[in-house]
Chains A and B, each alone.
Chain A
Amino acid sequence: MPAIQLRDVSKRFGDTRALESISFDVKDGEYLCILGSTGSGKTTLLRTISGIIKPDQGEILYDNKNMKDVAVEDRNAVYVPQTYALFPHLTVIENVCFGPISKGVDLNEAKNRALQILKLVKLDKRANSYPNELSGGMQQRVALARGIASNTKLLLLDEPLGALDARLRLELRVELKKIAQENGLTVIHVTHDQEEAMSIGDRIMILRKGRIQQIGTPLHVYLSPQNIFVANFIGNTNFIEGTILKRNTRGSSIRIRGGYQIMVDDTSHVAEEPVVTAIREEKIKLFDHPIEAKNTLSGDLIGANFLGTFIRYEVKLDNGDILAALHPPNSDLTKLRLGDRVAISFETFHTKIFDYPVLGLKRELEAY
């Protein structure tokens, strides 16, 4: 199983910086998800690791071996694009045999192995079908089978579930991870779907404008985002602009717009320092009546959107800030009407404080 290391890898396309000093390691047998919005450089990164694109600078190592002069076909790293690139003129079994035959494996031996792998992905009965006769999910499994049959230990998947419907995506997530584990594969999986990345990846990496924002386990990234962009990109987060008023050993108080004050656990910022407070939407409690508690603010209900598992309430605070709160649909709050007076409250330990961005909060939240 290969361990992958990237050291200071950069790539430009004309004036566009696609990758900027990318460095990270992927461990043997690890499933790493690269998460980013469109144009963040995630596909370029994957194609660079595969060797299809040559980096302008930096090193890519497979098991400590520099891949600089190693051709795509000699890297033993299978790249699966979003469209799967199943060869349309070959049947399923011929597609799966392609890798072994290209490497000189005897045709009969290659076919036997291909059949075994097709059984593994439950497609042995479709061995003689052509790709255009298969559903999207089947095509995805053939692409996986083709990769496994080529005896690779490194799979590079570019939005492998992107072309599938929502239900199939959920099913195949589990299957993908299972196949990777059973075959001892190292997988780098690119996606823009945060839920997919968090549910499948051993670790996730957030990419923005060709730069790594954070890398870690899904839970760690969710609970401890390193910056405002990550806090906003992973999960649903409210941001409140303010200035540190006072700091003591147990926390700080922050003055927010309209002269209101909130309390946070953070002690790393000094008085008068401008900051941004992040609070997850699901950590905000909403009340249909006034309450007396720490970190309570009141305002008018201006939006309520049913999302299936939750209702997302939008509240315009008396200071003009707008915050959102997620609540299960079975609560008493469903009786609320737009324009009703409400109160919101949150715990000090559910807050996360960031330095105020140099270019402003709005710019910091933009993906591009």
Chain B
Amino acid sequence: MKESKSIGEAINRLSGSPIARKILYSFAVFYLIAFILLPPLLGISFKLDLIDQVFRDEILLNRAKSAIMWSFTIAFIIAILDLIAGIPMAWIIARGKSNLINILDAFVDIPFVIPTVALGFSTLLFWNSNYSPLKFLGVNVSPGFFLILLLHFAFSFPVIVRVMVGELLTYKDVYENAAKSLGAKSFTVARTVTLPILKPGLVAAFLLAFARSLSETGATMIVAGAFENGPIFIKNAKDAGLEGPMVLVSFILIIASITVFGIIRILGTKFRIPIGNVYPDFEALLSKSISVKIRNVLTITIFIFLVFIPSIFITSPVLGAISDGTLVKAISGEGIWSSFWNSMILSYTIGIIATLINVITGFPVAILIARKRLGHIGSILLEAAVNVPIVVPSVALGVSLGFFWRTFSFLSEFWIIIFAHTTITYTYFVQAMAAAIEGIPEEMEETARTLGSKALGVFKNIIVPLTKYSIFSGAILMFTRSVDETGATTAVSQKLQTAPVLLVNWIKGIVPATTSDIALGISFLVLTSFISLLVLRLVVYRRR
């Protein structure tokens, strides 16, 4: 006991040494560069000689070009549409006074917590069911471009709403009050004062929705039919054993997405929302309470029919699975279910290990970013490096990571999948932690230091207690993201099958499975997300 105390004291004393801190931060930055940033960029470059195959086949080349073009087009359309629909929803949640707002607030997150494979299957079932609103209009939505749009709209919607609700809640209403007292109507205030001030949040929300659409693979595979965007093209090329096209499209998607992101990030801050002219009569009409009510009803209707119901529609065949004996078959592990449980254990194990690695290696990087320890430019570069994995489409990332890690022949497939998952989930933790640490006034740390606390003491007694919610939520977010990950895992795995990859094979008919099997399998996966979130809430509330 005494010995462990003295070891603790020694570590505490050591943490006060600038050299020890430098070593720790250097290790974290080395990990970021060597394990997160370089593998996706280098892996693909190892195989660039294969792209020749594509240039010799004009049909393949045209397919590749069209797939890339569609990826960016869909992502752009989705980001715009979600912004238009998401901002009014964020407004309702942030400014609404009814108790029903809390329910609406929780429902908005539904597409977040449902694994993308489940979301894809649910969307497919809903838009082809008799309950589809388009069916009433006599329109059949078959798998393809339009269904991809509907799917991407649903799963990117919560991103916009979450970001904008956060922005609106922290926004000081003093500007709105000042603008109103100067005679501006509420619509004019929103257009000329609130939204321009929240522009960084708008740009961030747009980018996140854009990235989510660009990157999504698992759900898109289910609703794509014969249509190909970038990720689907890569998956199809992989299934057909065509490495050349896979490398070309992955390479272009990686480079193009990083470039597009850079451009939007730079131009986004320069873009000015036009405020020069005000149309008093028209804007007064839009500010009237009846106009606001119409807008709210329209926003909620769009949410219910385009986001909420398509996301939870999966629950209907699950009820059938309980009564038709599928549940018994599943629990006893009969037939196709024997491999399902192995896949679930594999998914959980990978999720836990990837989360632990990222918490340990991501924390120092979050501190470096939040406290700008590498200077202003250094922090920007570090943040850009951290963001690379979420900017790049996950399947392209998986292809590149597969190539990179397989060059180390001593690594088993299990560890290659883990490294792929750490890369994919790393950003979520570091971003959440950097934001949380930024919110703690630096004076608190400085005061603790002047009171005699060493760096470890400050970390343990100030940073961790004040950011515990973010640590847990970041860890849970990483874990659920890892368990649900489909695109990169599909690209990187050869023999091992995680649960989402196995479910895609069931849905695609590669392994014969009934609708009840699929729905139940997906429900077990969904349960993971719900239990994880429940644990998060319990832990956080108990600690409070």
Which positions in A face B, CB cutoff 8 Å? Answer: 47, 50-52, 71-81, 83, 85, 87-90, 94, 98-99, 101-104, 107, 146-147, 150, 152, 156
Contacts and interface: CB of A to CB of B under 8 A. Distances in A.
B192 A77 contact: no
Question: Which secondary structure characterizes the binding site on chain B?
Answer: helix
Nearest to A103: B183
A87 B277 contact: no
Nearest to A82: B174
Interface in B493-529: none
Interface residues of B, number: 25
A152 B184 CA distance: 13
B295 interface: no
B174 A81 contact: yes
A344 to B, nearest CB: 46
B181 A77 contact: yes
Contacts of A71: 180
Given A87-B193, A88-B197, A102-B188, A76 B178 contact: no
Contacts of A152: 182
Contacts of A72: 177, 180-181
B196 A78 contact: no
Given A79-B178, A104-B278, A89 B199 contact: yes
Interface of B: 174-175, 177-186, 188-189, 192-193, 196-197, 199, 275-278, 280-281
A107 B277 contact: yes
Contacts of B180: 52, 71-73
14 contacts: A73-B182, A78-B181, A79-B178, A79-B181, A81-B174, A81-B178, A83-B174, A87-B178, A101-B277, A102-B185, A104-B278, A107-B276, A107-B277, A146-B182
Task: Choose among A71, A72, A75, A83 the residue with the greatest number of B CB atoms under 10 Å from its CB.
Answer: A72
A79 B183 CA distance: 11
Given A89-B196, A89-B199, A150 B178 contact: no
Given A101-B278, A102-B278, A85 B185 contact: no
B184 A102 contact: yes
Given A87-B193, A87-B197, A104-B278, A80 B185 contact: no
Contacts of A89: 196-197, 199
Nearest to A79: B181
6 smallest beta-carbon distances between A and B, as pairs: A102-B184, A85-B178, A99-B182, A104-B280, A79-B181, A72-B180
Given A83-B174, A87-B178, A150-B183, 4 more contacts: A73-B184, A102-B179, A102-B184, A146-B182
Nearest to B182: A99
B181 A50 contact: yes
A152 B182 CA distance: 8
Contacts of B196: 87, 89
Contacts of A147: 182
A76 B184 CA distance: 10
B183 A76 contact: yes
A71 B181 CA distance: 9
